[in-house]
Amino acid sequence: MNDAAYEWASLAVGLLFFGGLFFLKKKHVHFGVRTLIATALGVVLGLLFPGHYTYIAAFGTVFSRVITAIVVPLLFFSIISSVTNLGTSIRLKAVGLKTVLFLLLNTLIAAIITLAASVALHIGAGFNYEPATEYAAKKVPSIIDTLVSLFPQNIANHWASGQVIPIVVFLLLVAVAYNKVAAKDAEKVEAFKKFIDAGNAVMGKVVSIVIGYTPYAVLSLIARQVSRSSVADLLPLLSVLVLVYVLCAVQLFLVEGTLLKIVGKVSPIQFFKNLWPAAVVAFTSQSSVGTIPVTVAQLKKQGVNEDIATFGASLGANLGMPGCAGVWPVLLAVFAINVLNIPYSPVQYLFLIVLSVVVSIGTVGVPGTATIVTTALFTAAGLPVEVIVLLSPISSIADMARTATNVIGAATATTLVAASEGQLKSDD
Instruction: Inform me whether the pLDDT recorded for 238 exceeds 70.
Output: yes
Instruction: State the pLDDT at residue 141.
Output: 45
DSSP code, position 324: I
Report helix, strand or coil for 80.
helix
> pTM for the full model?
0.67
Nearest Cα to Cα of residue 403 among 334, 340, 322: 322
The residue type found at 403 is T
Nearest Cα to Cα of residue 75 among 292, 378, 358: 358
At 274-310, the pLDDT tens digits run 898 888 878 866 777 667 777 888 898 899 887 788 7
Round to whole Å and give the CA distance between 326 and 42. 29
- Listing DSSP states for 150-170 in one string gives TS-S-HHHHHHTT-HHHHHHH
Instruction: Inform me whether the pLDDT recorded for 419 exceeds 80.
Output: yes
Entry field: residues in the chain: 428
Instruction: State the pLDDT at residue 138.
Output: 44
Higher pLDDT, 428 or 414: 414
Round to whole Å and give the CA distance between 14 and 36. 16
Cβ distance 302 to 271 under 8 Å? Answer: yes
At 131-182, the pLDDT tens digits run 655 544 444 445 566 567 668 888 888 777 666 667 878 888 888 889 889 8
